[in-house]
């Protein structure tokens, strides 16, 4: 596991990092051997960088739709077709990443991310380290894009990955269950290395 700084606003008020997982780490969290993100092209890249690439790849998205067709057949998706899905993801993911960068540049990191759930919200009230999510972009008029991470202090976030959220509970679909494991792995690593705020995080990755 490696952390890379991907953004710092003027005056260093906001800092965003992203994690790079090794192939064995990804396999241990449930990523399948045949998954695109295990392609040598992606190993060593940050999780955010992989998202940018995969969400604009029509072949990857078509395969994702086919693999998860049972979820997309749910009435919630209102008869979503593969063609509409691929087109919406390619077009709207650009908006997601553009808006994410804009908010980071404008010093609005806190407004970008929210606690992952009620449990993480309670952690926010007593700790500086907690799991977060950002929700942007539409697929078939559903807010389905997620960027996940760990907030360390109020102005530093480590992006652990992201997903096209296809069911309500993360543990109920393979892709979001893996993202949950990524967050848990990074949170444990941060805790085990005594990271408790921005300065200790920056010092750790500089070692």
Place of tokens 């085990």: 192
Is the predicted pLDDT of residue 13 greater than 90, yes or no? no
- d(CA 82, CA 85) in angstroms, rounded, equals 5
Question: What's the pLDDT at 133?
Answer: 95
Range of the domain at 68: 2-206
Q: Would you state the pLDDT for residue 34?
A: 85
pLDDT of residue 93: 93
What integer is the mean pLDDT of 6-21? 79
Confidence tier at 107 by pLDDT (50, 70, 90): confident
pLDDT for the residue numbered 106: 76
Strand order in the sheet with 15-20: 2-8, 15-20, 156-164, 142-152, 129-139, 114-115
* pLDDT value, residue 104: 77
**Residue 11 in this model has a pLDDT that exceeds 70:** no
In this predicted structure, what is the pLDDT of residue 123? 81
HSE toward the beta carbon, residue 79, CA cutoff 13 A: 0
Percent of the chain with pLDDT strictly greater than 70: 97
Comparing C-alpha atoms, which of 183, 187, 165 is closest to residue 175? Answer: 165
- The pairing of beta strand 2-8 with beta strand 114-115: unpaired
**Would the pLDDT of 22 be above 90?**
yes
The highest-confidence range among 49-53, 101-105, 150-154, by mean pLDDT, is: 49-53
Q: What is the pLDDT of residue 12?
A: 63
Residue 10: pLDDT over 70: no
pLDDT recorded at residue 205: 85
**For all residues of the chain together, what is the average pLDDT?**
89
Total count of domains within the chain: 1
Dihedral sign for Cα 63, 184, 38, 56, please: positive
pLDDT band at 9 (very low <50, low <70, confident <90, very high): low
């Amino acid at each position: 596991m490696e952390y890379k700084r991907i953004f710092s606003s003027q005056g260093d008020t906001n800092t965003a990092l992203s994690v790079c997982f090794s192939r064995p780490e990804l396999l241990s969290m449930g990523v399948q051997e045949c998954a695109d993100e295990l392609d040598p092209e992606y190993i060593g890249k940050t999780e955010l960088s992989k998202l940018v690439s995969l969400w604009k790849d029509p072949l990857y998205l078509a395969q994702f739709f086919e693999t998860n067709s049972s979820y997309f057949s749910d009435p919630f998706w209102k008869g979503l077709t593969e063609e509409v899905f691929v087109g919406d993801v390619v077009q709207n993911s650009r908006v997601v990443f553009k808006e994410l960068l804009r908010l980071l540049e404008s010093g609005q990191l806190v407004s970008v991310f929210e606690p992952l759930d009620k449990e993480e919200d309670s952690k926010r009230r007593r700790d500086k380290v907690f799991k977060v999510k950002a929700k942007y972009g539409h697929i078939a008029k559903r807010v389905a894009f997620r960027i996940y991470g760990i907030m360390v202090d109020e102005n530093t976030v480590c992006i652990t990955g992201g997903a096209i959220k296809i069911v309500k509970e993360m543990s109920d679909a393979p892709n979001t269950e893996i993202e949950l494991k990524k967050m848990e792995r990074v949170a444990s690593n941060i805790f085990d290395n005594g990271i408790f705020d921005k300065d200790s995080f920056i010092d750790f990755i500089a070692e």
